[in-house]
Chains A and B, each alone.
Chain A
Amino acid sequence: MLAIIDYGVGNLFSLQSSFAAIGADAAITADPAAIRRADGVILPGVGAFRDAAAKLRGSGLWNVVTAEAEAGKPLLGICLGMQMLFGKSYEYGEHEGLGLISGAVRPIADVIPKTFKIPHIGWNALHLTKPSPLFANVKEGDYVYFVHSYYAADCADSVIATADYGAPLTAAVQRGNVMGCQFHPEKSGDVGLSILRAFCSLAKGAAQ
C-alpha cells in the first residue's frame, strides 16, 4: 500500500486515480499509523510554499514524513511536494522545508530569459542527467506536464532530469530513497504513469 499524504493542499483525486489505473493501491490519508505502515509515501502539493509547509506542520505529519524518509522508506514529492523536500524556499520570503535534500527553491524568473512566460506551463521534454530507477521506463526527450513558477536550485548532486525553458530547470531529483518530480506524473499521460509504476516497484522492493 502507498500513502498519499492528505494535509489539505490541493485535489488528490487525479493522483489517486492514476495509481488506480496502474493497479496500485494508494490511500489518501492523514493517519500517521497508515503512513508508517505504507510501503511508499507520496507528498503532493499545489499552491504557495509557505501555506503548504504550515499545513504540513499543522497536520502533525511533518515529523512523520521526515522520520519515514530517514528510515529509508521510498518518498516521492510531486510539484510543490518536491519543492518541500529541500531545506529552504525563497517564495515570497524565506521558508523552511523538510531538508531531506540539500538545495533551495528559487524563482524561475532568476534564471530564464525575460521573454519567457511565467509560470512554466505545458508539456516539456525531459533531459535525463543521471540514471535513476524512477526513470527506468523513461527515454531522453519524453514529454511531461509542468506548472510552476519556482524551481529547485543548488542541488546539482541530486538532479536526475532537467527541462529546457530558456535555462535548464530542475525537473526531477533523487537522493537515495527520497525522490521528487517538479512536473505532474499524474497529468503526463503514459510517460507519467510509467514513472508512478517505477515508484511502486521501488516501494514494493523496499518493503521486502
Chain B
Amino acid sequence: MITKRIIPCLDVRDGRVVKGVNFEGLRDVSSPVSLAEYYSRCGADELVFYDITASAEGRRLFTDILTETARRVFIPLTVGGGINTVDDFDRVLKCGADKVSVNSGAIRNPDLVREAALRYGNQCVVLSADVKRVDGVLRVFAKGGRENTGMEAIGWIRRCVAAGAGEVVVNSIDTDGVKQGFDLEMLDAVCRAVDVPVIASGGAGKIDDFITLFQTLPRVDAGLAASIFHFGTVKISDLKEQMAAAGIPARQL
C-alpha cells in the first residue's frame, strides 16, 4: 500500500532557513542542512527546498547547500524557487535534487513544463500553483502570491499536467498562514481535474488537519507544511503515528 507523504518545506535565503525555527537539540537551527537531516530522522517522506534568494551570490550558496544536503540526506529532495529555464533544472538536478518545482517560471514561459518533461521525464517536473479565490473564481497567482495572473486555476493546472507536470502542489493563498486546515474545496476541485499526484499546501495548523485532509480527500497524496514543523507545533513522528491509528497509510520508521 502506497503511503500518504508528509513533506516539510524549507524556505532558504542567502543560505539560511528563513522562517523561524524553534527546536531543542538542533545545534544550528537555521542551517538548511541540519534541519533537513533532522526531518529525515523524524520520518519526513520528502523535503522541499525553496530558494527565495534574489542575488547571484545567494543562488550559489543555495546550490552549495543543496549539494551538502544531498550528500547527507537520502530521501527525495524537491527544489523550487527561481526556476525559469531548462538550464535552471539542470543546475539544481546536478546538485542532487530529484524533482524540480516550477511556479512563476511556468507562467512566464508556457513551454517550460513541456521542455523540462521531455528532457528529464514527467516524474521530475512538479507544478506549484498559488491559487486564490477572486469573486468566487479560482485564480492563479504569480510572484509568491502577489500578482493575480487572471488565469482560471483548474484549467491552468490541467494544461500543465497535459504538458508533462508529474505532480501538482496546490498552495491555497486563502488558507495559507491561517492554520485552520487545508483548503479541502480547492483541493477537491484539483483532484477531480488531474490524475497525477496532488500535494496539499497551505493551512495546516495541527495533526487533525492532516487526518481530515486524507480522510476527506483520499485522492490527495501528500501534505506539505513549513512553520508548524519548524516550530515543533506538529512533530512528524506523532503525526505519522496518529495517521496510522486513523487507518491512513503512513510510513513509520
A14 at the interface (CB under 8 A from B): yes
CA distance A102 to B71 in the complex (A): 35
- Which residues of the partner chain B approach A164 to less than 8 Å between Cβ atoms? 1
Q: Report yes or no: B96 in contact with A17, Cβ–Cβ below 8 A.
A: yes
- Which residues of the partner chain B approach A18 to less than 8 Å between Cβ atoms? 74
Q: B196 CB to closest chain A CB, in angstroms?
A: 6
A6 at the interface (CB under 8 A from B): no
B167 at the interface (CB under 8 A from A): yes
- Which residues of the partner chain B approach A20 to less than 8 Å between Cβ atoms? 71
- Which residues of the partner chain A approach B67 to less than 8 Å between Cβ atoms? 13
Residues 110-166 (chain A) with a chain B CB within 8 angstroms: 117-125, 143, 145-147, 164-165
Residues 14-54 (chain A) with a chain B CB within 8 angstroms: 14, 17-18, 20-21, 46-48
Q: A8 CB to closest chain B CB, in angstroms?
A: 12
- Which residues of the partner chain B approach A119 to less than 8 Å between Cβ atoms? 122-123, 166
Q: Report yes or no: A122 in contact with B74, Cβ–Cβ below 8 A.
A: no
Q: Which of B5, B74, B76, B94 contacts A21 (CB 8 A)?
A: B74
Closest to A11 in B: B93
CB < 8 Å A-B pair total: 82
Q: Report yes or no: A187 in contact with B98, Cβ–Cβ below 8 A.
A: yes
A66 at the interface (CB under 8 A from B): no
Q: Which of A14, A117, A143, A190 contacts B3 (CB 8 A)?
A: A143
- Which residues of the partner chain B approach A14 to less than 8 Å between Cβ atoms? 70, 74, 96, 98
Q: A187 CB to closest chain B CB, in angstroms?
A: 5
- A interface footprint on B67-98 (CB within 8 Å = 1, 0 otherwise): 10011101110000000000000000111101
Closest to B96 in A: A13
Q: Which of A17, A46, A143 contacts B70 (CB 8 A)?
A: A17
Q: Report yes or no: A117 in contact with B94, Cβ–Cβ below 8 A.
A: no
Q: B38 CB to closest chain A CB, in angstroms?
A: 14
Q: B66 CB to closest chain A CB, in angstroms?
A: 10
- B interface footprint on A41-73 (CB within 8 Å = 1, 0 otherwise): 000001110000000000000000000000000
A176 at the interface (CB under 8 A from B): no
Which B residues contact A (CB, under 8 angstroms)? 1-3, 5, 40, 45, 67, 70-72, 74-76, 93-96, 98, 120-123, 166-167, 195-197, 221-222, 251-253
Instruction: Kindly list 18 other residue pairs between chains A and B, CB separation below 8 angstroms, not including A13-B70, A117-B197, A122-B221.
Output: A11-B96, A13-B94, A14-B74, A46-B123, A48-B121, A121-B166, A122-B2, A122-B3, A123-B3, A124-B2, A143-B251, A145-B75, A146-B2, A187-B74, A187-B76, A188-B74, A189-B40, A193-B74
- In the complex, the 9 A-B pairs of residues with the closest C-beta atoms, listed nearest first: A143-B251, A123-B251, A17-B71, A123-B3, A13-B96, A122-B2, A147-B123, A124-B2, A187-B76
Which A residues contact B (CB, under 8 angstroms)? 11, 13-14, 17-18, 20-21, 46-48, 117-125, 143, 145-147, 164-165, 186-190, 192-193
Q: List 19 A-B contacts (CB under 8 A).
A: A17-B70, A20-B71, A21-B72, A21-B74, A48-B121, A117-B195, A119-B123, A119-B166, A120-B2, A121-B123, A122-B5, A123-B3, A123-B251, A146-B2, A186-B74, A187-B74, A188-B75, A189-B40, A189-B253
